[in-house]
Amino acid sequence: MKAGTGLFSALALFLLLGAVLTQTPRQKKPTRRPGITRRRSVPKPAEPALPEPQEPTEFPPVILGPPSMYIDCPRECSCSPSYPNALNCENRNIRNIPVIPPQTQYLYLQNNFISEVTAEPFINATEIRWVNLANNRIHRIDKNVFEKVPALLYLYVQRNNLKEVPAGLPVSLEQLRLGRNRISKIPAGSFSHMGNLTLLDLYHNQLSDSGMGKNTFKDLKGLVQLNLAHNILKKMPAGVPSSLIQLFLDKNRIDNVPKDYFDGFTHLAFVRLNYNQLSDKGLPKTVFNITSLLDLQLSHNQLASVPLFNGHLEHLHLDHNSIESINGTQICPYSLEADPSDHNMGPRLRYLRLDGNHLSPPIPLDVIMCFRHLHSIVI
């Protein structure tokens, strides 16, 4: 009995040991997270270097015109059978004026890169009446050019780099446009014997009082429009011809108008003195009492009162000054007791601008009673 029990116990112990020996051991959890393996960065092969950006050329290439039936038509221009007397060379990027065909009367050279005008291209161009050289880079015009074109009527050279009025201008000229240059001087005799000139435009230059002599405009007996706006004048220009109809002096530094400045002007209808430095001290009360004057502009000055004016005036601009009051009785060109039914006797003022001053509505009754033709008043 004891021997059987011992045999059973030995057998159980043997089976237990076998199970323990055949069991797979459990792995321990790591106490620290394993490090991340990073890929080694491999340098990229160097890309070929881009070429340095090139600055644009100063002048774009010349644009050639279409083939022409005229053998003497320059390739950089166009000659139309519909206008056989016109040579169109505008907007072609040309640097030099081509040889002008002899039949040319109208020459268009605007919007190019011309820097100098010489006589050679005009040798056979004796019939030219109209030359447009606007918006180029012209700093010099040879005086011999005008000997080749004795019948020239219109010369447009605005938006260039001229520092002086060109010499040797033909006496035949009727219009001369020199606006937006760098002109600071008008040499003596520049307009000698030019009695045919009707329009002289010197707008937006650098003209001062010393750059013009007292006889600068002496020979311009037929001048109708003189534009000296946007310069650096401190005084009214001397010797302005009495034939003028339009005088433009905006954006200068003028602070004084001599009381007899407009004596003898019988056709002057438009005077513009906006953006100057005029005050009551420098403006005689009756200086604008001109029978022919229709439009007077004195905006953006330093006036404290309304100047007297003639009954024929139709437009008066006095905005942006220092006016504090307006008295219709004082400024009325005629008696307020005139018969209101007689419209021919009353002042002809139709437009009055007074905004930008120190005035407040309503409009004084005596102003309404005097200026019965007023259609618009800004206050």
The arithmetic mean of pLDDT across residues 284-297, rounded, is: 96
- Per residue in 171-191, pLDDT (tens digit) is 999 999 999 999 999 999 999
Looking at 183-197, 207-221, 328-342, which range is the least confident one? 328-342
Largest CA distance in the chain: 166
SS3 164: strand
According to DSSP, the residues that pair with 315 across neighbouring strands are: 295, 351
Tokens of 83: 């206008």
What is the pLDDT at residue 319? Answer: 97
Query: Which H or E run includes 329?
Result: helix 328-331
In the numeric block, the tokens 């237990």 are attached to 16
In this prediction, residue 105 carries a pLDDT of 97
Find, among 233, 334, 333, 229, the residue nearest to 285 by Cα: 333
pLDDT band at residue 1 using 50, 70 and 90 as cut-offs: very low
Residue-level pLDDT at 275: 98
pLDDT of residue 74: 95
Residue 150, Cα to own-chain centre: how many angstroms? 32
pLDDT reading at 323 higher than 70: yes
pTM, rounded to two decimals: 0.82
**Domain with 117 in it:** 76-145+153-161
pLDDT at 281: 96
**For residues 171 and 140, what is the distance between their CA atoms, to the nearest angstrom?**
20
- Provide the token pair at 116: 């100098």
In whole angstroms, give the CA distance from residue 353 to residue 74: 54
In a domain, 258, yes or no: no
Residue that wins the pLDDT comparison between 65 and 364 = 364
What is the model's pLDDT at position 19? 46
pLDDT at 7: 47
Of the candidates 107, 92, 87, the residue with the CA atom closest to the CA atom of residue 59 = 92
Q: Which of 46-55, 134-143, 274-283 has the lowest mean pLDDT?
A: 46-55
Does any domain span residue 201? no
Strand-pairing partners, residue 279, are 302
103-110 contacts: CB < 8 A, separation 24 or more?
Answer: 103/127, 104/128, 105/129, 105/130, 106/130, 107/131, 107/132, 108/132, 109/133, 109/136, 110/134, 110/135, 110/136, 110/156
Residue 209 counted as domain residue: no
Q: CB of 204 within 8 A of CB of 230?
A: yes
**90 located within any domain:** yes
pLDDT for position 211: 95
CATH number of domain containing 89: 3.80.10.10
| Phi, psi at 351, each rounded to 5° | -135, 125
Is 277 among the domain residues?
no
Percent of the chain with pLDDT over 70: 82
Q: Is residue 11 part of a domain?
A: no
Q: List phi, psi (to 5°) of 22.
A: -85, -5
pLDDT value of position 46: 57
Contacts of 260-266 with C-beta under 8 Å, sequence gap 24+, read 261/236, 261/287, 262/287, 262/288, 262/290, 265/290, 265/292, 266/242, 266/291, 266/292
Would residue 117 count as lying in a domain? yes
pLDDT at 54: 53
Name the pLDDT band for 16 (thresholds 50, 70, 90). very low
22-31 pLDDT per residue, tens: 454 555 555 5
Q: How far apart are CA 203 and CA 182, in angstroms?
A: 10
Q: Cβ of 337: how many Cβ atoms within 10 Å?
A: 7
Q: Could you give the CA distance from residue 71 to residue 40 in angstroms, rounded to a whole number?
A: 75
Task: Report, as an integer, the average pLDDT of 121-127.
Answer: 94
Q: Are 191 and 167 in contact (CB under 8 A)?
A: no
Predicted confidence (pLDDT) at residue 69 exceeds the cutoff of 50? yes
Q: Per the domain annotation, does 281 fall within a domain?
A: no
Q: How far apart (Å, rounded) are the C-alpha atoms in residues 315 and 270?
A: 10
| Average pLDDT of the residues of the chain | 88
Q: How many domains does the chain have?
A: 1
* Angstrom distances, CA of residue 42 to CA of 35, 38, 39, 89: 21, 12, 9, 62
Q: What is the mean pLDDT of residues 181-205?
A: 96
pLDDT greater than 80 at residue 343:
no
